[in-house]
Structure 1
């Protein structure tokens, strides 16, 4: 377990330095049959590109609030750590009318229009494909992100004590508090280096965010993130647990 990182982005940096090739996040959508596997290095590359998009093209500044109207998805995970990397406040399921920017999936576009700042839409299609037609009033993430740089350096160093995560229950955590809670959650789940956690929880509260990314990252483990997991029968779930070498469950 990483005991030195002071910010969530620092947890990813430590994982990248330790073993960039190891799996970090495997994503399933059991409605479409999609499966995506991301190593630490590949995930970090998506985070860097997304953070550069935030900082440069979208002009997000430290302290700005980003409403994330997104399901549990590998791209949502990248957005979460990108927000932490740029020093902006990630607000999963946050009110778009109170946000400086909004990032929306295809099912929440109308709700997202309440944001008066920049609006970014994710098609959430297999292989990260773009929308057939960009929704009016939005930028298409799949169009904007590929040209971004593969390395990210914030213009202003991120303060571990600054607000980083606004949870739907109204609580707000600094970056340092996110790291500490992630470590505590990892301990409560029994995670350690090499642990492989299967999570079918939504990204709409701490429990889902911790199980679906932050606790495995803090512990030096990995996550198998499953959307629409309820579609699997007991035998199918058992086969997945075996094929993915699952050591822990959070569903």
Structure 2
């Protein structure tokens, strides 16, 4: 068993090029732009990995229904790397999960599992007055240490479980995800499905030394062209 390839890629790049941009997020509906360097993204991942450990979800299932509604948000995109660092698999189905990650709208515990609500604020500000049994992700994560241990996983171990497959759940291993095409430049990403967005916005850039600009909302061609030019994205 080895450290998952994508976790290794993030840790290596944080050491060698931590100040470089990794993920720039536009929220057109809220009017926000958030830029995370490799080091900042890795810091959020480490804090989240420590939180997973504190909540007793190591080597378990982390449900990320947040990815169904906001696949391109930076808070959504950091969760898979944190889960893999603690030998967890990501699933989109909350049934049977050890930990459930939801958004800020009507966050309520669906299961006895621990539930974390993400504010989706551009600066990561927390939520207040949550229902009993729901924890605010920002508040809990920011109290965690900046470094986290890493649990090994087999290359063929499940990393992402997508229940939306036409013949039942599709399971992607760490080796499958490590085969994501590398991205060397700065690319513009309009979110699509949860796994496709993760691959385009984070996994490919990590493997290739590039970065991504993710635009959430309903951009028209003119706005996308303007953002592409201002962010110096490759065509």
Q: Which consecutive segments of 4 or more residues in structure 1 shift more than 6 A? A: none
Counterpart in 2 of 1:176? 175
SS in 2 for 1:116: coil
1:160 corresponds to which residue?
155
Structure 2 CA distance for aligned equivalents of residues 73 and 50 of structure 1? 16
- Give the conservation status (yes or no) of the 8 Å contact 1:121–1:135: no
Task: State the distance in 2 between where 1:135 and 1:49 align.
Answer: 23
Match of 1:48 among 40, 43, 46: 46
SS of residue paired to 1:125: coil
* Partner residue, 1:19: 17
Match of 2:204 in 1: 215
Q: Give the 3 Å change call, closer, same or farther, for CA 25–51 of structure 1 in structure 2.
A: same
CA distance in 1, matches of 2:153, 2:107: 30
- Superposition pairs for residues 219-238 of structure 1, below 5 Å? 219-228=208-217, 230=218, 232-238=219-225
Mapped partners of 1:18, 1:175: distance in 2:
23
Q: Which runs of 5+ in 1 are unaligned?
A: none
Q: Deviations over 1:33-61 (max 9, x none)?
A: 11110111111000000000001x21112
Alignment of 1:96-107 (within 5 A): 96-107=94-105
Unaligned runs of 5+ in 2: none
**Higher helix proportion, which one?**
1
Residue 210 (structure 1) shift: 1.1
Aligned equivalent of 1:196: 186
Give the TM-score taking structure 1 as reference length: 0.83
Q: How many residues align?
A: 225
The answer to whether the 8 A contact 2:188-2:215 is kept is yes
Partner Cα distance (1:172, 1:6) in 2: 16
Using structure 2 for the length normalisation, give the TM-score: 0.89
- Determine if contact 2:4/2:84 at 8 Å carries over to the other structure: no
Q: Please provide the CA RMSD for this pair.
A: 1.8
